[in-house]
Structure 1
Amino acid sequence: MNSTLFRRTRSRLLSAIAIACAVSVAASSASLADPSEPSQVTTQELLSDALAAAGETEANLVEPTLNSEVLEFGTGEGAVFVQATEEGKSLAIGAENVEREFSFGLPIESAPSDVQMLDDGTAVFSDDEIDLALQTHDDGAIRAQTIIHDADAPHEFRYELGLPEGSFAEIAQDGGVDVFQSFPDENESVLTSRFEPAWAVDASGETVRTWYELHDGDLVQKVDIGEDHEYPVVADPFWIPAIIIAIRVTSIVIKVGSKTVKYAKAPASRVVNALSSFKTLSYRTGSHTFKLDKSGMKHILQRHHPKYWDGSSKSSQTFFNPKMSISDVRNLVHGAMKQNQSKLKSGGTNKRIQLEGTYNNVKYKMVIDRGRVVQFYPR
């Protein structure tokens, strides 16, 4: 499976990563299963007990809506989609809180409309062999818990990875799986997301041996259930995007799951190459035209984007999410211009204008000097 799995247009999937793209889930939705059924309460308790036994913390979950055979979780860091694969026999997850489309297939034959919702926002899918409980956190992380009911059920689960071009996955020393974006021209790779080390517990809370392997680019979780273990067994992959947690003088500290990595000062050639085909954004209101040119975009990226950061910082330094593309930043600026149309029209292009607001859940400050965008950054 590749990143063309999701047949939504790029403008739909990358409306503004925020990382930066909040997707409205207010559209009319099909009715989901009644969460009051007793069996669902049992499933919810099972999952809660499994998390506690594994030493995991329960998080705030996002409840999805079902729209046109697509299950949408609108998180604070962009949307998570669940829909059928092109073959229509299984499900796949697509995450927006990444620079380009990212997806992974779920090891179950089901359809989005088959979902059963638990009270806490967990989406449960079932087939003849297993149940799969999907939880999307409000920070964009995704937890997929496989419920193995008996010894006849599979003990190996394949998650087909649909990675963007230039990305690759590898097993980390702690047993997790790191996903990197490579920059061949700079002989460099950047950690963009990861699957935390696998865990599994049985019905009594005992640890069950489990691990990840990579086969033909897919993530495979193997679960070694012994005769002494009690069913059902819950096994858990947990995918987490990169999150900025701190800033140092010469590096940005990034938290990706249990890992802490640093973004150091980027080579000047990176932003130059990235902007080689950049076209000036022009926005006209009344008799005035406001522009974001290549020079302005370069300044924005070098000051406020982890991938292109030039090492400069202030006491109140802020950064865009590291997964935002240049197109995403451009779209944010364009949206902010439209949002402030009346102020720009009255202000004109002969003076300096400072604007603040929120666009697609991104709080921003924008400075326009004589019609040119000279500053734009998240607050």
Structure 2
Amino acid sequence: MRHARDGAAAAMNAASRVLVARGKYEPQELENPDVSWGQRTRDGVWAPTRDGQRIHIGIECSAGDQPATVLRPSLRVFVGVEVDTDIVAQTTASGVRLLTVLHGPDAPTEFRFPLSLAEGLALEAMPSGGYDVVHLRYGATVGRFYNPWASDSMFRPVKADYALDGSTVIMRVQHSGSYYPVVADPLYSR
């Protein structure tokens, strides 16, 4: 258990430094009774939509059976989800963020988040590079995956974007030549 706590502390430190540098407009960690985290990494999270439904965001990784290190009800760390990679998972007032911390050049460049949408909901690509969760009957946006950002330890931007493979959102991070750790932020909000 000591190793998991040390890994969680390293991931939290990296994520915190980058979030502080990004400024006060970042979504803040907050308990949200409409968000429900699974026990294992692959279980991911159930998050609310604006119309009262829920979506499931999975975390597809090689260490999918690993339990989270729960620091607070609204904050957990998935240590070692991939080579040189941790995920700091935060609950926010309106959704979740999955701060992906890459500790070295051997970390993957793609991260997969399989989605399960309630009946009548679909993903729609946005010009910003994000995806809206749209209610098909009414055409209303009921949730949003904001375009991801990434930053290295020198607070330089690192190219990050999304691709879609069926119902799986793939975050791509081009971190070659970066100063580590690199933090990338998939953010979902209703």
How does the TM-score come out when normalised to structure 2? 0.83
Contact kept? 1:51, 1:58, Cα under 8 Å: no
**Paired residues for 1:125-274 under 5 Å:** 125-127=78-80, 128-129=82-83, 130-137=85-92, 139-183=93-137, 188-227=138-177, 229-241=178-190
Work out which of the two has the higher radius of gyration on C-alpha atoms and give 1 or 2.
Answer: 1
Per residue, is there more strand in 1 or in 2? 2
Structure 1 residues 122 and 101, CA gap change in structure 2 (3 angstroms): closer
Contact kept? 1:83, 1:111, Cα under 8 Å: no
Q: Distance in 2 between matches of 1:143 and 1:89?
A: 14
RMSD: 2.6
Q: CA deviation at 1:157?
A: 0.9
Contact kept? 1:90, 1:111, Cα under 8 Å: yes
Equivalent AA in structure 1 for residue 160 of structure 2: T
Structure 1 residues 165 and 176, CA gap change in structure 2 (3 angstroms): same
Identity rate, percent: 26
Q: Distance in 2 between matches of 1:115 and 1:121?
A: 12
Structure 1 residues 208 and 54, CA gap change in structure 2 (3 angstroms): farther
Does residue 82 of structure 2 align to residue 93 of structure 1? no
Structure 1 residues 120 and 162, CA gap change in structure 2 (3 angstroms): closer
Q: Distance in 2 between matches of 1:121 and 1:165?
A: 27
Query: Which of 22, 28, 41 lines up with 1:59 in the alignment?
Result: 28
Aligned to 1:309: none
Q: CA deviation at 1:92?
A: 2.1
Alignment size in residue pairs: 183
Equivalent AA in structure 1 for residue 12 of structure 2: Q
Q: Distance in 2 between matches of 1:182 and 1:42?
A: 42
Q: Distance in 2 between matches of 1:135 and 1:173?
A: 26
Contact kept? 2:78, 2:87, Cα under 8 Å: yes
Q: CA deviation at 1:225?
A: 1.4
Aligned to 1:8: none
Aligned to 2:35: 80
Q: Distance in 2 between matches of 1:118 and 1:89?
A: 15
How does the TM-score come out when normalised to structure 1? 0.44
Q: What runs of 5+ residues in structure 2 fail to find an aligned partner?
A: none
Q: Distance in 2 between matches of 1:120 and 1:51?
A: 20
Residue aligned with 1:200, SS: strand
Structure 1 residues 39 and 106, CA gap change in structure 2 (3 angstroms): closer
Residue aligned with 2:44, SS: strand
Q: CA deviation at 1:226?
A: 2.9
Per residue, is there more helix in 1 or in 2? 1
Q: Distance in 1 between matches of 2:9 and 2:176?
A: 27
Contact kept? 2:47, 2:95, Cα under 8 Å: no
Query: Which of 14, 25, 30 lines up with 1:46 in the alignment?
Result: 14
| Residues 130-160 of structure 1, C-alpha deviations (whole Å, 9 max, x = no match) | 21110002x2320111111222121101111
| Residues 216-250 of structure 1, C-alpha deviations (whole Å, 9 max, x = no match) | 122111111132x1111111111011xxxxxxxxx
Contact kept? 1:178, 1:194, Cα under 8 Å: yes
Contact kept? 1:170, 1:214, Cα under 8 Å: no
Equivalent AA in structure 2 for residue 201 of structure 1: S
Equivalent AA in structure 2 for residue 221 of structure 1: M
Residue aligned with 1:47, SS: helix
Segments of 4+ moved more than 6 angstroms: none
Contact kept? 2:12, 2:88, Cα under 8 Å: no
